[in-house]
Structure 1
Amino acid sequence: MVSPRDLDPSESPQAFYGAEVRRLREAAGLSQDRLGELVFCSGAYIGQIEAATRKPQKDLSIRLDTVLRTDGHFSRLYPMVTRTRFAEYFTAAAELQAIAQTISEYAPALVPGLLQTPEYAQAVFRAAQPLRSATDIGERVALRMERSQILDDPTRPMFWVVMDESVIRRPTGGAAVMCGQLSRLSNLVRDSRIIMQVLPFSAGAHALLEGALCLMTFADAPPAAYVEGPHAGQLLDDPAFVAKCLLSYDLVRAVALSPEASLALVESVAEEYADEHD
């Protein structure tokens, strides 16, 4: 991990924010752990903010101002730090995915963003936002492809996905697009980059009927859960809530097809799309 002392505060608003937290914390004679106790978070989280690997939350900025007696300094910095190219509700989750050791997703309707092909992503964006310009859609697709590069690292994250069977059956973008998308999933599995399971229609009711879920674990911070619905999402790290999500995910994995059977099904459906396209 990058040391906070190695950061250039002028590099970005986030780096400046982190440098200011470290400067004022040290001036107050507080360790990261002690400051974390005073503002109700972990010392590891304070360290990540100082190293500019995680962004602060608005309520944390307010508490830092109170504890460090900064007269609103961090509250004023916060809006600059949180400007992002992602949808506001997804920003924190995207940042955490980039540093997670493991990512476990349940996908009820669409292939997860990190696993999408450019053509599939374009079809998803176009269906969700039909009035956006081609240029804007192209920029969003490029950003999604940029994010997916975290799967190029052979050491992390360990990515486990459970997809509802409807994800592979719905012809998003048409037969050719789906053939390419399912082939990408197959290649990722065969290259040992992801673990994939399909939740078949025959499983019936299950523990995660209500929406998409992404669970993330980290080397030096508690796990987090990101839940998402239409045009909204929420990142939560309350231990009790995350524990419930972990149990629900385990229950879904238990009734899903095995990884071997899932791969066979995905490749079979890909062949059906290929025949339809031809």
Structure 2
Amino acid sequence: MRLARGLSCAEVASAVGCSESKISRMETANRGLYADEVAAILGFLQAPPRLRQELVALVRTGEDRNWHAIHGKLPGHWKDLIGFEAEAVGIHNFEPLVIPGLAQTAEYAATVMRGVNDMLSTGEIDALVATRMGRQVVLGRAMVHLLIDEPVLRRDFGSPGMMRTQLQHLSAMAERPNIVIQVVPFESPAHPGLSGPFVRLDFADQPSLVYVESRNSSTFLEEDGFLENATLAWQRLCALALPADESTALIAKLISKAT
């Protein structure tokens, strides 16, 4: 429909208020489709009402299937995140509450998931954990930079042994040449990270993305303003964080205490 009207991706993006890269990724199946976005695009392209209703209904059916039938009660946008991580050449993740998912052990991940949603069955938790562990394959090829708020490293959720294993895992990860782990000290002044966790994904041949997750919702931000804001926030957090070697030393100190 876009081509039939002689429109470029940039023109459609401008009309519906998103980035050109989002339209391109949607058309080439490099990101999922969401009903509100598809409805806006179809409206701009002047799709016949009946066709618009059929396509939006199809998208909604796909959303329901991905959420419930295929992988159980998984977080929103999980499929897109896994796909984008697989393509990314650089992943930059700040976490103020838990160990970043790409650095979690299976036991730590399961503990967090049970705490967040005690309605999940054992089978559902196992599926969630398996998905999270599978994501970690990207650690073998992408440049990964993790910023972790210090209180995260001191929170053992009532299981010091589990946390000791998790900290040992972090320490081992920090030895890899493509992974940088830094700790934002507890005594840091107020900073942009107080707005919550975020991930910036960089690609070889596509604009960067910012992934933001909050309670029961998540989204990808692709517009220039959001990317600039996230980049500035990351720079400020890096300036506050302990150097990588001091961060590793702090983790080692906490390992010795977690007995």
For Structure 1 versus Structure 2, the TM-score category normalised by the shorter chain is: 0.7 to 0.9
- Say which is worse superposed, 46-55 or 165-174, in terms of deviation: 46-55
Root mean square deviation of aligned Cα: 2.6
Distance 1:241 1:27, change over 3 A: closer
CA drift of 1:90 comes to: 5.1
Aligned length: 248
How far did residue 241 of structure 1 move?
Answer: 2.6
Paired letter, 1:78: V
Give the direction of change, closer, same or farther, for the CA distance of 1:219–1:77 in structure 2 (3 Å limit). farther
TM-score under structure 2 length normalisation:
0.83
Correspondence for 1:226? 211
Matching of residues 27-176 of structure 1 within 5 Å = 32=9, 36=13, 41-66=18-43, 67=45, 69=47, 71-72=51-52, 73-82=54-63, 83-84=66-67, 85=71, 86-88=74-76, 92-152=80-140, 154=141, 156=142, 158-172=143-157, 174-176=159-161
Q: Which has the higher contact order (CA 8 A, sep 6+)?
A: 2
Q: 1:255 to 1:176 in 2, by over 3 A?
A: same
Secondary structure in structure 1 of the residue aligned to 2:157: coil
Instruction: Quote how far apart the aligned CAs of 1:55 are.
Output: 1.4
Deviation per residue, 1:17-57 (Å, 9 max, x gap): xxxxxxx5555565555655565555544443333221133
**Residues 270, 95 of structure 1: CA spacing in aligned structure 2 closer, same or farther, 3 A cutoff?**
same
Distance in 2, Cα, partners of 1:173 & 1:192: 33
Residue 188 (structure 1) aligned with residue 166 (structure 2): no
Partner of 2:187: 202
**In structure 2, C-alpha distance between the alignment counterparts of 1:39 and 1:231, rounded to whole Å:** 25
Q: Residues 236 and 37 (structure 1 numbering): CA distance in 2 closer, same or farther, change over 3 Å?
A: closer
Instruction: Label 1:44 to 1:89 Cα distance change in 2 as closer, same or farther (>3 A).
Output: closer
Q: Distance in 1 between matches of 2:220 and 2:147?
A: 19
Matches of 1:248 and 1:33, distance apart in 2: 28
The 1-side partners of 2:46 and 2:202 are apart by 30
Q: Which amino acid aligns with 1:115?
A: A
Q: How far apart are the structure 1 equivalents of 2:16 and 2:55?
A: 13
Return 5+ residue gaps in structure 2 as ranges.
none
Shift of 1:268: 2.1
C-alpha distance after superposition, 1:76-102 (max 9, x if no partner): 331244324431265544443332232
Q: Tell me the CA shift for residue 191 of structure 1.
A: 1.7
Do structure 1's residue 211 and structure 2's residue 196 form an aligned pair? yes
Give, in whole Å, the separation in 1 of the partners of 2:9 and 2:229. Answer: 29
Secondary structure, counterpart of 1:190 in structure 2: coil
Shift of 1:165: 0.7
Whole-angstrom distance in 1 between the partners of 2:115 and 2:37? 37
Instruction: State the identity as a percent.
Output: 29
Structure 1 position 236 matched with structure 2 position 221: yes
